[in-house]
């Protein structure tokens, strides 16, 4: 399947949430069932986590989460000002990728993992629209661990337009128009004391 092909949506997909401008969200629950919790513990303990920093106004600041990039061998992706190259998939993630392809018809070749240790770890407003994702960036966001709110706002505006809570073993599928017209964020939630792991599967276009 071409990474730029139009999605042929199976009839078993849930009804979408319409954000406007053709932007749609689909939320799948119970993706792995009883396998989800063991996978959560395995990934938290075994992925090659990094603690990157970003430079703001000439000063280095730690990114408020832990991250890692995994992908097909040779697949490159730029984030946090660095180019990261894939070296293949650990077997437990390869099985998850296969499951997501069965559900959605998409064929991701890379995943950005973010580990939020508690509610103080966050992700700021952004769009997943890097050039490596091409003009039609389908994004599959799989969640394990603590439930966290996920917020959307129109690009160029400051008012929050939509929020949903992502739970353990939920998969959120975002249409390409979501990245074109909306930004998303994971706000700080001080009441959350448990870790949350997010795996954002992407289709990188080789250069």
What confidence score (pLDDT) does residue 56 get? 65
Segment 8-34 shows an average pLDDT of 90
- Asked if residue 190 is part of any domain, the answer here is yes
- Asked if residue 9 is part of any domain, the answer here is no
pLDDT band at 98 (very low <50, low <70, confident <90, very high): very high
- Asked if residue 10 is part of any domain, the answer here is no
What confidence score (pLDDT) does residue 1 get? 34
Where b means 16+ CB within 10 Å and e means fewer, 156-177 reads: eeeeeebeeebbbbbbbbbbbb
- Asked if residue 160 is part of any domain, the answer here is yes
What tokens does 142 get? Answer: 């799989």
CA 174 remoteness from chain centre: 9
pTM of the model: 0.91
- Asked if residue 40 is part of any domain, the answer here is yes
pLDDT band at 9 (very low <50, low <70, confident <90, very high): low
- Per the model's pLDDT, the better-predicted residue between 202 and 206 turns out to be 202
Question: Which residue, 58, 40, 5, is CA-closest to 147?
Answer: 40
Contact yes or no for 89/70 (Cβ under 8 A): yes
CA–CA distance, 4 with 122 (Å, rounded to integer)? 30
Rg (CA), the chain: 16
- Asked if residue 167 is part of any domain, the answer here is yes
Residue 149 belongs to domain spanning: 17-202
- The secondary structure of 95-134 as a DSSP string is HHHHHHHHHH-----EEEEEEE-STT--EEEE----GGG-
Segment 188-205 shows an average pLDDT of 97
CA–CA distance, 61 with 122 (Å, rounded to integer)? 14
Dihedral, CA of residue 4, residue 206, residue 97 and residue 40, to nearest 10: -120
pLDDT band at 163 (very low <50, low <70, confident <90, very high): very high
Segment 161-177 shows an average pLDDT of 98
- Asked if residue 141 is part of any domain, the answer here is yes
What confidence score (pLDDT) does residue 6 get? 45
- Asked if residue 1 is part of any domain, the answer here is no
- Residues written for the chain: 207
Name the domain count of the chain.
Answer: 1
Residue 118: give its domain's CATH number.
2.60.120.590
Is residue 5 predicted with pLDDT exceeding 60? no
Segment 114-133 shows an average pLDDT of 95
Question: Which residue, 173, 62, 156, is CA-closest to 108?
Answer: 173
């Amino acid at each position: 399947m071409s990474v730029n092909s139009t999605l042929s949506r199976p009839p078993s997909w849930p009804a979408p949430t319409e954000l406007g401008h053709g932007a749609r969200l689909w939320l799948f629950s119970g993706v792995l069932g009883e396998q989800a919790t063991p996978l959560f513990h395995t990934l938290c303990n075994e992925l090659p986590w990094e603690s990157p920093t970003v430079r703001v106004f000439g000063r280095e600041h730690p990114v408020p989460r832990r991250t890692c990039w995994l992908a097909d061998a040779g697949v490159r992706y730029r984030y946090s000002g660095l180019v990261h190259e894939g070296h293949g998939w650990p077997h437990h993630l390869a099985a998850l990728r296969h499951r997501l392809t069965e559900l959605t018809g998409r064929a991701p070749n890379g995943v950005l993992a973010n580990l939020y240790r508690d509610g103080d770890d966050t992700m700021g407003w952004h769009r997943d629209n890097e050039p490596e994702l091409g003009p039609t960036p389908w994004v599959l966001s799989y969640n394990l661990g603590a439930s966290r709110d996920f917020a959307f706002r129109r690009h160029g505006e400051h008012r929050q337009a939509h929020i949903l809570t992502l739970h353990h073993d939920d998969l959120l599928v975002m249409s390409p128009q979501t990245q074109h017209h909306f930004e998303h964020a994971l706000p700080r939630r001080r009441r959350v004391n448990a870790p949350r792991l997010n795996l954002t599967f992407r289709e990188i276009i080789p250069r």
